[in-house]
């Protein structure tokens, strides 16, 4: 029995060593009526998890302004009733990253945020 416990302990150590170390995670409740005007400052390797209930989506856009036409946004997540999407700061996302909810008039109602990633 002691041999079994030692074997299980050794497997647990090996499994823990195989898990990559990840950065911090910021959970963002993505909905109309939240104040996102201050944006977020996120370190390289950290992640922001957008989560929502109801019909929303996440789209990356070129500026902090709402697009004048729906086609101007690059949709990252399909509109869905309830869901989540994770954005990770890495070497390709350093600097300002602008996101909106492209559903209906959600962007005009303030559902937009700038996430600034440090290198």
In a domain, 56, yes or no: yes
Instruction: Answer whether residue 93 shows pLDDT above 80.
Output: yes
Structural domain total, the chain: 1
Per-residue pLDDT tens over the stretch 104-116: 999 999 999 999 9
d(CA 101, CA 70): 11
Model-level pTM?
0.77
- Least confident among 1-5, 25-29, 96-100: 1-5
d(CA 109, CA 31): 10
In a domain, 16, yes or no: no
Q: Is residue 81 a contact partner of residue 55, using CB atoms and an 8 Å limit?
A: yes
User: In sequence order, what are the residues at sequence separation of 6 or more whose Cβ sits closer than 8 angstroms to the Cβ of residue 112?
Assistant: 36, 61, 64, 66, 98, 99, 100, 101
In a domain, 5, yes or no: no
Residue with tokens 């990559």, as numbered in its chain: 20
Per-residue pLDDT tens over the stretch 10-63: 333 333 333 333 689 999 999 999 999 999 999 999 999 999 999 999 999 999
In a domain, 12, yes or no: no
In a domain, 53, yes or no: yes
Domain assignment of residue 78, given as a range: 23-117
In a domain, 11, yes or no: no
């Amino acid at each position: 029995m002691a041999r079994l416990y030692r074997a299980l302990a050794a497997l647990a150590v090996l499994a823990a060593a195989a898990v990559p170390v990840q950065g911090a995670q910021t959970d963002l409740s993505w909905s109309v009526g939240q104040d996102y005007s201050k944006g977020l400052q996120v370190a390289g390797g950290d992640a922001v998890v957008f989560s929502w209930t109801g019909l929303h989506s996440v789209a990356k856009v070129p500026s902090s302004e709402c697009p004048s036409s729906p086609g101007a946004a690059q949709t990252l997540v399909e509109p869905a009733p309830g869901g989540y999407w994770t954005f990770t700061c890495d070497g390709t996302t350093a600097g300002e990253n602008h996101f909106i909810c492209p559903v209906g008039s959600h962007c005009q109602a303030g559902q937009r945020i700038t996430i600034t990633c440090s290198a």
